[in-house]
Structure 1
Amino acid sequence: MSAPTDNLVRVFTEEELEDRKSAVIDRLEQRFGSLERALKREEDWDYDDDEAALFSDYHAVTFLLSD
């Protein structure tokens, strides 16, 4: 039997966050052609659930990396 993980907090290194940011930007660029176009599309509020998840990931990781 494994221990419950409900109250665990995952700590990420800056390198892991940078890697995640790079991966998310790559996916946004593949989908929209560039990060700028992706962020412009987000402003239109016209995107599907997968795109919403990418935008959420992008903003979360940039927030965590901000000073």
Structure 2
Amino acid sequence: MSMSMTSTDGLIRVFTEDELRSRMSAVVNELERRFGSLDRALEREQDWDYDDDEARLFSEYHAVAFLLSD
């Protein structure tokens, strides 16, 4: 049986501003749940004292913030 694989190389995903704001809200909510507040989360990030899952959240937070910035 032959199975074809689809490559995602060169694939571009476009997000609406509403989708970005929704994702930002979800990420901020998760950071607040884990650290008590967004400020505490960002302070913890500066200490470089976090696990891989938290690193993913920090990365996503900054990426979405960048995309939403003017």
Normalised by the length of structure 1, the TM-score is 0.92
Which one of the candidate residues 42, 47, 50 is aligned to 1:47? 50
Normalised by the length of structure 2, the TM-score is 0.89
Give 5+ residue unaligned stretches, structure 1.
Answer: none
The whole-number CA distance in structure 1 between the counterparts of 2:55 and 2:6 is 32
CA deviations 1:14-52 (Å, max 9, x no partner) are 000000000000000000000000000001011110110
Q: What RMSD, in angstroms, separates the aligned Cα atoms of the two structures?
A: 1.2
Larger radius of gyration: 2
State the one-letter code of the partner of 1:65.
L
State the one-letter code of the partner of 2:14.
V
The whole-number CA distance in structure 2 between the counterparts of 1:3 and 1:18 is 30
Which one of the candidate residues 2, 17, 37 is aligned to 2:20? 17
Give 5+ residue unaligned stretches, structure 2.
Answer: none
Runs of 4+ aligned residues of structure 1 deviating over 6 Å after TM superposition are: none
Match of residue 37 from structure 2: 34
Q: How many residues align?
A: 67
Percentage of pairs with the same residue: 70
